[in-house]
Amino acid sequence: MKKEFTDKHVLMVNNLTVKFYTYAGVVHAVSKVSFEVYKNEIVALVGETGSGKTVTTRAITRLIESPGRIEEGEILFRRRNNKIVDLMKISDEEIRRIRGDEIAYIFQDPTSALDPLYTIGEHIDETIKDHRFIDKKIIKKISIDLLRKVGIPNPEIRIKNYPHEMSGGMRQRSVISISLSNEPVLLIADEPTTNLDVTIQAQILDLLKELVKERGMSMILITHNLGIVAEVADRVYIMYAGKIVESGDVYKIFSRPLHPYTQMLLRAVPNPLKKIIKLETIPGTIPSLIDPPSGCRFHPRCPFTKDICIKQEPPMIEAEKNHYVACWLYK
């Protein structure tokens, strides 16, 4: 079911497969994953450990290192100059130019993303200089504006701060400002608020939403927290054991979750606004990706397993408008 790369598309991933060749065996981290990102939207990639969400986003800019290998896949990306390229096919030099410039990352731990020996100003300076030729004074102005934009008070002073002189929330804001310094087309945020306090998290999520809206960026947000997804995302992709099991508009997914995994995931998260007597638990554990279960990978834990689930992998079908699911219950 090959889709067309339309005017509204920024990114389209088709049949991405990533395998890790370890001493323990071949880990099928990501298996034939396809998804898309449109202009000016926030897409959430949801999954637990081992779902493959992080590997998928690293693979977009070929950040996979040995023993990992991108086996197959097509990644179409609309560059700033409106040209459409396949990120899998371009040269190493070109993809390095895109990284940090047109596609920027924000990682989970702001402390390890920052070099303790350099000030924030120096970080931004380096990121900009790597991709553009701009006068030093202009870089400084851009940096101060960026820091102010992400909500850091007294940016003229803060620009000279070292990472250890800042709190966790400020560090993450700094990381965001560094990622934004070249005005990327696509921002990939990997669990950007997991290590932060809930009140700071709320501030950062608000900030990200605002930035996407006013800069016309697109964002892929990776998280395991369904609450964050509901707050921020426009569309959602649910991943399990290296595959996408359900996807669609955020309202549809939450009001009518189709895949049994999605349903159980939603019921396993305590909603503080409702009185819950007992949380629903998902029996079993996440499967090993070296020897994934046959057929549908969720079948060992699924309460609705049928014969066909064990034998054949279900295809992704459009259950309703803007709502897709890969499950034999809906054929």
Interaction of residue 109 with other proteins, rule CB under 8 A: no
Which is closer to other proteins, CB of 60 or CB of 221?
221
* Interface size with other proteins, residues (CB under 8 A): 48
- Those residues with Cβ within 8 angstroms of residue 164's Cβ, 6 or more apart along the chain or in another chain: 116
Q: Which of 21, 118, 251, 304 binds other proteins (CB under 8 A)?
A: 251
Which is closer to other proteins, CB of 131 or CB of 267?
267
- Those residues with Cβ within 8 angstroms of residue 87's Cβ, 6 or more apart along the chain or in another chain: 60, 61, 62, 75, 76, 77, 95, 98
Interaction of residue 270 with other proteins, rule CB under 8 A: yes
Which is closer to other proteins, CB of 270 or CB of 315?
270
Interaction of residue 260 with other proteins, rule CB under 8 A: no
Which is closer to other proteins, CB of 83 or CB of 278?
278
Interaction of residue 250 with other proteins, rule CB under 8 A: yes
Q: Is the separation of the CB atoms in 241 and 50 below 8 Å?
A: yes
Cα separation, 53 vs 237, in Å, equals 10
Interaction of residue 201 with other proteins, rule CB under 8 A: yes
Q: Which of 17, 203, 305, 322 binds other proteins (CB under 8 A)?
A: 203
Q: How would you class 315 by CB atoms within 10 Å of its CB: exposed for 0-12, middle for 13-18, buried for 19 or more?
A: exposed
| CA-wise closest residue to 305 among 320, 322, 283, 289 | 283
From residue 284 to residue 303, the character string flagging contacts with other proteins as x (rule: CB under 8 A) and all else as - is -xx-----------------
Q: Is the separation of the CB atoms in 218 and 40 below 8 Å?
A: yes
Cα separation, 250 vs 323, in Å, equals 9
Q: Which of 33, 98, 226, 289 binds other proteins (CB under 8 A)?
A: 226
Q: Which chain residues interact with other proteins by CB under 8 A? A: 23-24, 48-49, 153, 167-170, 197-203, 205-206, 224-231, 250-251, 254-255, 264-266, 268-273, 275-276, 278-282, 285-286
